[in-house]
Chains A and B, each alone.
Chain A
Amino acid sequence: MKRIKSMTAKRAYPRSYANPVLTLAVAFLMLAATGSARAELLIRITEGANAAIPVAVVPFAESGTMPAGDKIGSIVRSDLTMSGQFNLLAPEKMLSLPSQRSDVYFRDWRMLGQRYLLVGQVSREGDQLRARYELFDVNREQRILGETASAPASRARSLGHHISDKVYEAITGEPGVFSTRLAYVTVAGQGEDIRYRLQVSDVDGKRSKVRLESGEPILSPAWSPDGKKLAYVSFETGKPVIFVHELATGERRKVADFRGLNSAPAWSPDGKSLLMTLSRDGNAEVYKMELASGDLTRLTHHWAIDTEGSWDHSGRGIFFTSDRSGGPQIYHMERLGGEARRITFGGRYNARPRPDANGEYVYYVHQREGEFVIARTHLDNGQESIVTRTGADESPSLSPNGRLLIYATEQDGDSVLSVVSTEGGAAYSLPAAEGEVRDPAWGPITR
């Protein structure tokens, strides 16, 4: 422990010029980000919630050669900020930089108005990074979390996100989503040179990887419940076809290539079947396909458009969009093949339902005074409320803990993915580095 103490002391003295160093580091990072702009979305924190919880994340003490890139502490700080639920104390406002309990003066942190304090150290052992960290409740002067975690040095960001998840869960009692991933589609170029790219990244837009590139549209990516596969629609053969894509191997399988539309895939909670929209029988209807056998069950029977099927929280019924009333509205079929009950009544256009995981709300695209926003309806009382107000909002997708909603929209003429708290308050946005970014799908929590 003496070793760590001396480390702490060593860390304390450069504080006087910590500011310019930090600024320099930020400038360098921005340059680096511009260099890789083709691949990555650039995070832009929009605003925090009013009732954000004050948390101090002290820069972690380090021993050994650290990998280039963001420090563990700053990854955690940016994750927690991103969630919109926390107000992070800037390191330059900290009175000391403890890295373990014996160095913590709770009075100082109380004076700074902090509710929680995270301290830690990272050491490098060969190819491994090892982090030891502790979370304190400042008022009670109690340690509420203490752990060590390690990861290969090449995966420092994974280690940071893991710590963020643990901290988030310790404070809120709900699982964090910082280790989950996003799938989305970018579009760059025009005419003959247009490129559609299906990409997967961390939830902060970092570490993006192109999984499929095509000169024809790609849309509707959907994560399998185990996070190992994506289903999506690709026009690469000249018409809309549903593929299932194994992320680890890149292996792809055409699962639906019927006459007409093959669209809107959605996985069942057990990962064994897909909901999909097919028009093989004449017009758009929702079907269920068993992936092992390819067996199809038709779930809707109506001359109107029926599409965008999505499983409800029980895993027994589905939500879908139908324009059987004259315009698109959301319907719920409690049991497959049973009666469909209309859920939305506000306005002429409600489409693309995304129910939350506990059966409380269903989210959807809603037209309001000529604009398109994301709204939700409470499933018990039918009360509708507006969640986003950007105005050209599409493709809502919920984080697995239901706290955040990502959707595609425009900000100052830029195509962005925007993330908002479902309880109000914008969290952050991921602008496209070039061209457009669309069709976000928030991946599941995988352990």
Chain B
Amino acid sequence: MKASLSPKVIALLMAAGLFAGCSSTGEKMDEESYGSDVEAIDQDGGATVYDGTDEEGGISSSAMTEEERREAREQQQQAEQEALRDITTFYFDFDTSEIKPEARDVLVAHARYLADNPRVQVRAEGHADERGSKEYNLALGERRAKAVERFLIVNGASRGQIETISYGEEKPAVRGSGEEAWAQNRRVELKFD
């Protein structure tokens, strides 16, 4: 099953959401699934589109105020997006490459940033915890990196911007054994140039 939703449409929907000051995008992203791992924003539910009228029930305000308000909203939005993009590591459950729900908003922010900055390059580095077989873990790390790559592409980044690599279990973030360490090692790290 391949993506039927074009990045352009998503970008449009997002822009619409932004304009209307919708602070929450990507609330509902479970319906259309891409491959086994990636689910994209649903066309109807992902970004709620408002009609652009003033929120205060028909009382129109001056154009100036509207402009200012929009700017403030956009600034706030941008700050939020930037804050989201501070997060560059995404965690996985054992032997899966499924992107966790809590990672989605952040990945969408990264995808949007990549879409807005077509010259920016990113490297998705996949890792596994130390358990099980090394060679299998190398393939698992790759699948995790590719799951993140697909998610970014489906959400607006272009293929040429993303490079994937797997280190398997060779480069743990945290030394030691036990679920606490393992959970931090099953990850994909985004590295921007």
Contact = CB atoms under 8 A, between A and B. Distances in A.
Contact of B135 (A220, A327, A348, A372): A220
Nearest to B130: A392
Contacts of A190: 175
The 7 A-B residue pairs with the shortest CB-CB distance in the complex, in nearest-first order = A217-B170, A351-B133, A352-B133, A284-B139, A264-B135, A305-B139, A351-B136
19 contacts: A219-B135, A220-B135, A239-B165, A263-B135, A263-B138, A264-B135, A264-B138, A283-B143, A303-B36, A305-B139, A305-B140, A307-B136, A308-B133, A321-B136, A328-B136, A349-B132, A351-B136, A372-B132, A394-B133
A279 B133 contact: no
A283 B177 contact: no
A112 B95 CA distance: 55
B139 A307 contact: yes
Nearest to A218: B170
B183 to A, nearest CB: 14
A395 B140 CA distance: 16
A328 B134 contact: no
Interface in A376-420: 392, 394-395, 410
Contacts of A392: 130-131, 177
A327 B134 CA distance: 15
Given A217-B167, A352-B136, 14 more contacts: A217-B170, A219-B168, A220-B135, A263-B135, A263-B138, A283-B139, A284-B142, A284-B143, A305-B139, A305-B140, A365-B132, A365-B133, A392-B131, A439-B134
A277 B139 CA distance: 9
A372 B142 CA distance: 22
Interface string A334-371: 00000000000000110110000000000001010000
Q: Which of B132, B135, B165, B170 has the most CB of A within 10 A?
A: B135
Interface in B137-176: 138-140, 142-143, 146, 164-168, 170-171, 175
B138 A261 contact: yes
Contacts, number: 91
A305 B136 contact: yes
A235 interface: yes
B132 A351 contact: yes
A260 interface: yes
Given A328-B136, A351-B132, A394-B134, A261 B142 contact: yes
A352 B170 contact: no
Contacts of A98: none
A268 B177 CA distance: 36
A365 B146 CA distance: 25
Interface residues of B, number: 24
A194 to B, nearest CB: 9
Given A235-B170, A327-B95, A219 B133 contact: no
Contacts of A395: 133-134
Contacts of A219: 134-135, 138, 168, 170
Interface in A234-251: 235, 238-240
Chain B interface mostly helix, strand, loop or mixed?
A: mixed
Nearest to B179: A370
Contacts of A365: 132-133
B132 A328 contact: yes
A308 B135 contact: yes
Query: Is the interface on chain A under 10, 10 to 19, 20 to 34, or 35 or more residues?
Result: 35 or more
Contacts of A239: 165
Contacts of A348: 95
B177 A352 contact: no
A372 B130 CA distance: 11
Nearest to A392: B177
Contacts of A264: 135, 138
A367 B132 contact: yes
Contacts of B164: 260
B143 A305 contact: yes
Given A261-B138, A261-B166, A321 B143 contact: no
A143 B165 CA distance: 61
B142 A321 contact: no
Interface in A410-447: 410, 438-439
Interface string A310-328: 0000000000010100011
A410 to B, nearest CB: 8
A239 B146 CA distance: 15
Given A235-B170, A261-B166, A307 B135 contact: yes
B133 A328 contact: yes
Nearest to B141: A261
A74 to B, nearest CB: 36
Nearest to A266: B135
Contacts of A263: 135, 138-139
Nearest to A396: B133
Contacts of B140: 305
A239 B166 CA distance: 8
Nearest to B94: A349
A352 B170 CA distance: 17
A360 to B, nearest CB: 22
A395 B143 CA distance: 21
Contacts of B177: 392, 410
Interface in A280-324: 283-284, 303, 305, 307-308, 321, 323
Interface in A26-47: none
B132 A277 contact: no
B68 to A, nearest CB: 49
A235 B143 contact: no
Contacts of B133: 308, 321, 328, 351-352, 365, 394-395
A329 B132 CA distance: 12
A217 B95 contact: no
Contacts of A438: 134
B127 to A, nearest CB: 11
Nearest to A238: B165
